[in-house]
A and B are shown apart, each in its own frame.
Chain A
Amino acid sequence: MVKTEVALKLNGKNIKLKAPVWKNLLDVLREDLGLVGTRGSQGAGNCGLCLVLKNGKTVDACSIPFFELMDTEIVTIEGINLIKEFPDRSLIISEVLKNTVSYRSNSIIMAVKGLFLEKTFPGDDDIKYALSGILSPVDDSNGIIQGVKKLVNMRSRRRR
């Protein structure tokens, strides 16, 4: 079994990881590191469940080969509150998810966090783009989008 070693920063800690070359980031997180908050379904970018932040941008963990992780900074849902920028996880849970959780909520939290890291005041199209492919047919998509808009307003009030 061909293994490779990479050094990366995961949830604020510098670590070295050894894993078979064919593994992707999602497998490493869930199977080797026990960070099962990043959900997945062993597919290839088809379910929108495995969002993580790679160097501050949201990416599907299942589509990143393990060997591409050298010198990157990865933040998963377990470490999301180490990023102090607005909004924190509790706020996303209360305003966007309306205090409900499901199998997909971690992915929505990551998408919203990534959106606010990328754009200070995201517009309607930015919000829809960030959430596209993540919301499921049975999600209250209107409620979620309204929740994100509320966060945008909160941020703009704080800035003032």
Chain B
Amino acid sequence: MINFVSDIYPEGTLYGITVRSPISKGRIVSIKIPKLPKGYFVVSADSIPGSRTINTHPKTCIARPWLAEGNVNYKGEAVLLMAGPDRNTLSYLSMKVSIKYKKEKAILNTVNAETVEEYLCRTAIRRRGNIDSAFKNAYQIVEEEYSTGAQRQFHEEPQAAVSVWNGTRLLIISNTQDPFGVQLAVSEMLRLPKKKIRVLVPPVERAESELLKYAGDEREAEVNSNVETICFNPGFNGRLMDSVVVAGHSALLSFVTGKPVRMVYSAEEDFMYAAKRYPVIARYKTALDEGGIPKAIKAEIVMDAGAYTDGAEEIFERILTMAAGSYGFPNAEITGKLVKTDRIPFGVSVGSGTPQAFLGIELHSARLAEISQLDPYIWKKKFLIENKGILPSGARLPDYKGAEFVLDSVVEKSDFRRKYAAYETLKKRRTALSDTAGPLRGIGLGLCFQGMNNDKDNDPRKYSLRMKLARDENIIVYSTFQNLELMRAVVLSAAGNKLGLKNVNVSAAGIDTDTVPDTGPAKPLIESVLIPRLVNECISAVQKKRFNSPLPIEVKKVHRIPAVLKKQIDTKTATTFSSVSWAAVVTEVELDPLSFEVLIRGVWVAVDGFMGGGTDISAGENSRCIKATERGVRQDIVIGLNLAAGRGIKFESGGIIEKNIIQNRGYMGILPYIDISFVKNEMHSEKNTGFVRTGVHGLSVAAVAPAYVSAVSQATGFYPNHLPVTPLTIQEYLESS
């Protein structure tokens, strides 16, 4: 019986808890532990037999320690671990632990960190054209600053892990996205060979039906067979670094105590200490000529990594690449600063940096369109990237024409141009907000792209996929992928196309490091590159063997970088994207002129990333794929709206305010009307995938937020430069002006 990790209580299990630092920065002077009853344990960094830092990102600037020793660098940093059979006693004992600190001056916001050299982790600069001359000859210069705060990465089940050390082997049951990452990090921490560590990820999508035996329900079997699998927020749900930390802590406790240890964060602990979206400040300066045509742009990006930078470098690179948006500025200078602060380590979130990158440039472009007295749609079309898809940052986009397709589609469906003109006229006629009899109305347009990059190419780990064509001609896939809908569709299509097997039964083996190969962390951007490539290679290998070898046939393929991309990486000519998907979003809002409560009248989304399951699979399967993808896009829209208009994460003396959990969860109102369309991009290469399929997940988040803010801006005449935009911020601004 397999279920959610937090539902697992092995016999004789101990509960594990974390003793955290109450200060943001300082030196640990002394630790006094009370006399513990029998069966209770305390573990400090000194109990770690191997590496004391988490080495999942070997080239990171500042690696995170498993447990603080000597210094603490953020409020809530783990200093000690405790384990015992009764949770209440444990929590009482943890309060009796006395740790004395010598406080040091902490830097708790991004702007302050910029000015201190030791807090500056990395800088970068990308240039194109002659920026100085363009600014010297400019008719007008437009300068703005935008910022996005931290955002909660919502996941239903808190971070959890159960570890069992039996003296020879360690079993870790974890809800991680990266089981092999957990295995690697724990093996280095405990100095154990990797083969002695087994990591299991329970298949949560079937958990409910497998777990519960409902009394008095005779139709249970029927109900269970009808329950669709749901890969909640497929794969990417904030379980990368945090899950490694929790799994490592429970493994360490189990290793030291010799008993099973269950470590489950409470909702509050998860809210306050699990990674949040990286806060970013984006400053733009654009030189316009007399006709309002942008001649040059200077963009300055400051990204806050929090106390440790593991994983931040990758997102920093992505944000820099996308900092000038989808527009072909002839001269550009993009500078970037990756800073640390003495706050919780921030982390990768849905969109992998895309929302932070596009918010600023999309709002800036809306402003430029207004200055040029052009409708934003016309402005965007006029200045869209050309020149073979080379971005101002130097990266090449393989499928750059997608922007036009999605823009045309969404503008037509939402009747954007007519509404924009009407609301603009109303805005110009109005002398004060109080003149308006009815609600204030506005409409906004956002455009973004998402590049599927090959960050695995520089990774020492080898990623591979194993596939078995069984005797009954069913296919079993062995991998760590969690986007089962995508994998199923790709396998069905490839099997139909190459093996002539129609409607074959495809199943995925459970995620277990003992039985599946390392296919990498389950990140949608990576999965959308690797799944089609590896599945097609495996199916081709099966095809070759099929009539020469008896069934079952088993094949394994390792991920190799395509020659073209390898050349680009080797010569460092550009950031490489193997494919790009585009999204355009229109949001229409209505504001109450007194309370400034915002009613979203509709959200229209066009994405070019997904066209269904292809022609080789049945209509039923095709519709299932589309439904699953629509569900993902819908979730992205909600996450985007939450980023734009949610309550946000508030910090107080370096820590997240606990009571904010109420505003950051739960019912956020009735969803608006949402229209989703999948648009065909003729530039998508079909040779690798067999059919059109690129990454969609996380894409729309980046365009929803700027579209919403532009709409509010048109309705009120207020130009917000910080997210989230709430009725209170609108009111404060209007009162101050």
Which residues does A use to contact B, with CB under 8 Å? 1, 11-12, 20, 22-23, 27, 30-31, 34, 36-37, 39, 41-43, 46-48, 77-82, 88-90, 93-94, 98-106, 128, 131-138, 140-142, 145
Q: A9 CB to closest chain B CB, in angstroms?
A: 13
CA distance A103 to B156 in the complex (A): 6
Please report which residues of chain B, range 2-18, place their CB below 8 angstroms from some CB of chain A when the two chains form the complex.
3-4, 6-7, 9
CA distance A48 to B642 in the complex (A): 19
Q: Is A46 a contact partner of B268 (Cβ separation < 8 A)?
A: yes
Tell me which of B7, B266, B635, B669 contacts A138 (CB under 8 A).
B635
CA distance A145 to B667 in the complex (A): 12
Query: With A101-B230, A103-B232 known to touch, is A135 a contact of B215 (CB < 8 Å)?
Result: no
Query: Closest A-chain residue to B92, C-beta based?
Result: A22
Q: Is A138 a contact partner of B233 (Cβ separation < 8 A)?
A: yes
B638 at the interface (CB under 8 A from A): yes
B434 at the interface (CB under 8 A from A): no
Query: Closest A-chain residue to B671, C-beta based?
Result: A142
Q: Is B154 a contact partner of A138 (Cβ separation < 8 A)?
A: yes
Q: Is B267 a contact partner of A46 (Cβ separation < 8 A)?
A: yes
Q: Is A141 a contact partner of B266 (Cβ separation < 8 A)?
A: no
Q: Is A101 a contact partner of B209 (Cβ separation < 8 A)?
A: yes
Query: With A12-B215, A42-B266 known to touch, is A103 a contact of B157 (CB < 8 Å)?
Result: yes
B668 at the interface (CB under 8 A from A): yes
Query: Closest A-chain residue to B160, C-beta based?
Result: A41
CA distance A60 to B722 in the complex (A): 37
Number of A-B contacts (CB under 8 A): 138
Q: Which of B293-301, B557-565, B658-666 contacts A (4 or more CB under 8 A)?
A: B658-666
Query: Closest A-chain residue to B207, C-beta based?
Result: A101
CB neighbours (8 Å) of A20 from chain B are 86, 88
Tell me which of A43, A80, A103 contacts B204 (CB under 8 A).
A103
Q: Is B208 a contact partner of A81 (Cβ separation < 8 A)?
A: no
Q: B642 CB to closest chain A CB, in angstroms?
A: 5
CB neighbours (8 Å) of B266 from chain A are 41-43
CA distance A103 to B6 in the complex (A): 10
Tell me which of A27, A80, A134, A137 contacts B154 (CB under 8 A).
A137
CB neighbours (8 Å) of B204 from chain A are 102-103
Please report which residues of chain B, range 172-228, place their CB below 8 angstroms from some CB of chain A when the two chains form the complex.
204-205, 207-209, 211-217, 219, 222-223, 226-228
Tell me which of B264, B642, B669 contacts A141 (CB under 8 A).
B669
Tell me which of A79, A100, A131 contacts B230 (CB under 8 A).
A100
CB neighbours (8 Å) of B223 from chain A are 89-90, 93-94
B670 at the interface (CB under 8 A from A): yes
CA distance A46 to B665 in the complex (A): 9
Q: Is A47 a contact partner of B665 (Cβ separation < 8 A)?
A: yes
Which residues does B use to contact A, with CB under 8 Å? 3-4, 6-7, 9, 86-88, 154, 156-158, 204-205, 207-209, 211-217, 219, 222-223, 226-228, 230, 232-233, 264-268, 270, 631, 634-635, 638-639, 642, 646, 661-662, 665-671
Query: Closest B-chain residue to A99, C-beta based?
Result: B228
CB neighbours (8 Å) of B667 from chain A are 128, 131-135, 141
CB neighbours (8 Å) of B665 from chain A are 46-48, 136-137
Given contacts A39-B6, A48-B665, A81-B214, 14 further A-B contacts (CB under 8 A): A20-B88, A22-B88, A31-B9, A37-B211, A41-B266, A41-B267, A42-B87, A88-B217, A94-B226, A99-B228, A101-B207, A101-B208, A136-B154, A137-B642
Q: Is A89 a contact partner of B669 (Cβ separation < 8 A)?
A: no
Q: Is A137 a contact partner of B88 (Cβ separation < 8 A)?
A: no
Query: Closest A-chain residue to B88, C-beta based?
Result: A22
CB neighbours (8 Å) of B642 from chain A are 137
Query: With A78-B214, A142-B670 known to touch, is A136 a contact of B230 (CB < 8 Å)?
Result: no
Query: Closest B-chain residue to A83, C-beta based?
Result: B216
Q: Is A82 a contact partner of B635 (Cβ separation < 8 A)?
A: no
Q: Is A47 a contact partner of B232 (Cβ separation < 8 A)?
A: no
Query: With A42-B267, A136-B156 known to touch, is A90 a contact of B668 (CB < 8 Å)?
Result: no
CA distance A132 to B668 in the complex (A): 9
Q: Is A90 a contact partner of B156 (Cβ separation < 8 A)?
A: no
Tell me which of A27, A37, A47, A137 contacts B639 (CB under 8 A).
A137
Q: B675 CB to closest chain A CB, in angstroms?
A: 13
